[in-house]
Amino acid sequence: MSKGKLLAVSIVWLLILAVGVGVWKIVFAPAVELSKEEQQRRAAEQAQQERDAALRKGGSDSRYRTQVNIALDGFSGYAVLRSPEFAEELRSQGIKLELIDDGADYEERLNSLKQGDTDMAVFTVDALVKTSAKLNALPATIVALVDETVGADAIVAYKETFPNVAALNDPDTKFILTPDSPSETLARVVMSRFDLDRLGSEPFIKVNDAAQVLERYKAARPGDKFAYVLWEPYVTQMLQNDRVHVVVDSSRFPSAIVDVLVASDDYIAKNRETVVAVVKAYLKVNYQYRSDAARTKLVIADAKASGTALSEAEAKRLVEGVWWKNTQENLAHMGVRTGTRLPHLEDMIAGVVAVLLESDSIASDPTDGHPNYLYNDSVMNDLAAFHPGVDSEQIRGTEMPKLSDSQWNSLVEVGTARAPTLVFARGTARLTERSRSLLDELAGTLQSTRYYVIVRGNASRRGNLEANKKLAEQRAHEVEQYLTSQGVDADRIRAIGVEPSGSTSVTFLLGELPY
């Protein structure tokens, strides 16, 4: 073979070899490599199966079908949620409970619900509204009511400095309180219900918690214009000083401070059965602690578990100041049960929103005028026939007893209600349409205030004095009749005329029975 042919043949074979190598790398080699990977994967799976089998030799399937985590803080009103009985009741249904104490960081709590890191949580209605307004969203919806404070939050002060609410109306008055807490809400409710027009533009001194409020009290002088806004058991601790008293507490403002159990709409949609089970378990355990004695023992044990010692007297006062909502009361507040005098949750939320807007605590209503967006009554509808125990539950209320004439005359004046100036047709007791509209708003305010109301009519001093006295009384009666027609309890309102002073309007004095 010539050298030229030999060279040509060599080149051809080299080309064939190169193509073969390329084909091997592209086609066959990956297949071999994949086969090795597959072998490794199968080997790993086999090893895991062997480990699982070894573990199962001495164990069994988990008793839990799901887990629910609930965010809350250390308030004693949540003691039922922290009780061993509540965890056990859920455990018996295959639900593992995890409680997350976030130290009352409401913004973090709501964000956690929004992001799905937390399943359920507890809020006060005011905190839920304020935090939703801050986030400009409604990530949580109310599924049940936990409790309402009816004295556990209070404004406390020296008797000689602030003998009543009216005395707070001073430009030097400072409320020492914890911001974004129920105590701040109480202060704002008082400012919205009473005529405190002389307060300074920023009457709050803000501290971290109720313990710091107590420390500020200990460091102050009796004559300082300080009003201390705090909650139990710190209220009881302050009252050990005989010179100190409760100026006003949350018992005077129904529906102002209410704790609720919430979940996100997304969580309810995906885990409805679990949400219903949690609410049902809570109501069942709450029923077990329905007596004051049992509740007191629970609160003492709960405080001890958190590292706080409560005396029996402190625990009893705390229990007296919290109204734990039972099943029937939940059904009534949600509108599932009708014919009761308990307010609907929708109206309760609307009232809280109104106070927060009026006091500039929020810039806008996060529900956009639809408080029903903030609750879901379907869970309670599912529990309409549920009874947590053998004994029937009573629906309690906030009705005030009817007074005798001597009791009306002995009422202790608390302050003057914050009310609009009413206009009457000249020389008559006839209300104008504008005044009727203003009284509609006032009726709602008075219904959410547990004080007796004295309507004082006034009139001009011009002309016949006796005729003017009679006109003043007629104006008071006209207002009284209109307010009762708008739902204000007739047993807690009385109209009187006063010596004409030149004013042509009426004033609303709020009073209470002497202790």
Residue 146: which residues within 8 A CB-CB, separation 6 or more? 77, 78, 80, 81, 122, 259, 260, 261, 282, 324, 325
Same domain, residue pair 325 and 453 = no
DSSP secondary structure of 138-152: ---EEEEEEEEESSS
DSSP H/E element including 404: none
Encoding tokens for residue 309?
């010692």
Which amino acid makes up residue 51? R
Q: Is residue 440 part of a domain?
A: yes
Q: Which of the listed residues 6, 38, 57 is the one where a domain comes to its end?
A: 57
CA neighbor of 208 nearest in space, from 176, 240, 234, 253: 176
Question: What does each of the 515 residues of the chain score in pLDDT, given as a tens digit?
Answer: 565 666 566 666 666 766 665 655 665 555 555 566 677 677 767 766 766 665 555 566 788 999 999 999 999 999 999 999 999 999 999 999 999 999 999 999 999 999 999 999 999 999 999 999 999 999 999 999 999 999 999 999 999 999 999 999 999 999 999 998 999 999 999 999 999 999 999 999 999 999 999 999 999 999 999 999 999 999 999 999 999 999 999 999 999 999 999 999 999 999 999 999 999 999 999 999 999 999 999 999 999 999 989 999 999 999 999 999 999 999 999 999 998 889 999 999 999 999 999 988 999 999 999 999 999 999 999 999 999 998 889 998 878 899 999 999 999 999 999 988 888 877 888 888 889 999 998 998 888 899 999 999 888 778 787 888 898 899 999 999 999 999 899 999 999 988 777 677 789 999 999 87
Q: Is residue 33 part of a domain?
A: yes
Q: Is residue 397 part of a domain?
A: no
Same domain, residue pair 375 and 282 = yes
Predicted model pTM: 0.84
Per-residue burial over 114-153, b if 16 or more Cβ lie within 10 Å, else e, is beeebbbbbbbbbbbbbbbbeeeebbbbbbbbbbbbbbbb
Q: Is residue 144 part of a domain?
A: yes
Please report, for the chain, how many H helices and E strands are present, in that order.
19, 15
Handedness of CA 224, 225, 231, 236 (dihedral sign): positive
Q: Which of the listed residues 197, 228, 252 is the one where a domain comes to its end?
A: 252
Strands 452-457 and 493-497, by their bridges, are parallel
Number of structural domains (the chain) is: 4
Same domain, residue pair 284 and 184 = no
Same domain, residue pair 231 and 276 = no
Same domain, residue pair 119 and 243 = no
Range of the domain at 422: 405-512
Same domain, residue pair 145 and 271 = yes
Same domain, residue pair 434 and 507 = yes
Give the CATH number for residue 275. Answer: 3.40.190.10
pLDDT at 85: 98
Same domain, residue pair 145 and 174 = no
pLDDT at 74: 92
Give the CATH number for residue 413. Answer: 3.30.1330.60
pLDDT at 8: 60
Q: Is residue 62 part of a domain?
A: no
Neighbours of 434 (CB within 10 A): 11
> Measured between alpha carbons, how far is 515 from 512 in angstroms, rounded to an integer?
9
